[in-house]
Amino acid sequence: MSARRASGEGVARLARARALGERFLYRTDEVAEETVSSTATTVPDETGFDAVGWDALRQEVLDCTKCELHKSRTQGVFGSGTPDTGFMIVGEAPGYYEDQQGEAFVGKAGQLLTKILAAIGFGRDEVFITNILKSRPPKNADPTPDQIAACEPYLERQIEIIDPAVILALGRHAARTLLGVDGSMASLRGRVFEYRGVPLVATYHPAALLRNPNLKRPTWEDVQLARKVYDEELQRRASQ
């Protein structure tokens, strides 16, 4: 699936987002929005997007009890943004504000991420943002192997359905989980990897930038690299 399709698909995108409960969605003009029935439950998608599968996956995540985190969370956090995108962001785990609001990256780190995305030409409604874990660990503890094992299949399915042009992994836990390596963030950043055939760029978590402003420059280089890979991959797909 490619991102930023022709505006003629805006109505289908908006209807799909409504049907799937997305709070952030690709904007369309008011005329197009008025043509969408608010009672729609399924939306035919000529692009092949699995709306039914996406909706079922969301509900499965929200109802999940596969690990002990469901006992302490307020709610599961499926993700934020639109699945109709080529740019996917994967962090580590929801924090306090994410757990309260049910949205990914809405605290101070999320506000910084929004600014970073804007700097490379994206609004939050033009990407999909999620985490390795879908439930908040108590006291924002690092994800444990059993928690990752319980949640990773959900992420794999999200990636499969979206079929992004690039994945931006934020933080060492996201990078290590997706890449299956134990390297430091410094050794993983600045390079292009692949996750199941999808280009992947790893960089520092926005929370790390708030603690250490010296990481802003390498992070900026990494997100620019991710944007470059995204543009090149869309061009490659369009030529096929």
* 38 or 227, higher pLDDT: 227
**Which helix (H) or strand (E) covers residue 219, if one does?**
helix 216-239
Cα separations in angstroms, 167 against 26, 72, 137, 187, 198 = 19, 29, 23, 18, 7
What residue has token string 């740019």?
87
**Structure tokens that stand for 136 in this block:** 């908040």
Residue 154 inside a domain? The answer is yes
Mean pLDDT for 150-175 is 97
Residue 94 inside a domain? The answer is yes
* Range of the structural domain that residue 61 is part of: 7-239
Residue 1 inside a domain? The answer is no
43-52, 95-104, 118-127: least confidently modelled range:
43-52
Residue 2 inside a domain? The answer is no
32-41, 108-117, 191-200: least confidently modelled range:
32-41
Residue 220 inside a domain? The answer is yes
Considering its fold, how many domains does the chain have in total?
1
CATH number at residue 93: 3.40.470.10
pLDDT above 60 (res 105):
yes
* 34 or 67, higher pLDDT: 67
DSSP β-ladder status, 80-81 and 128-131: antiparallel
- Tell me the per-residue pLDDT of 207-222, one tens digit each, with 9 for 90 and over: 999 999 999 999 999 9
pLDDT given at position 119: 98
Residues 6+ apart with CB under 8 A from 121: 227
* 210 or 32, higher pLDDT: 210
Band of the pLDDT at 45, cuts 50, 70, 90? Answer: low
- Tell me the per-residue pLDDT of 136-148, one tens digit each, with 9 for 90 and over: 999 999 999 999 9
Residue 131 inside a domain? The answer is yes
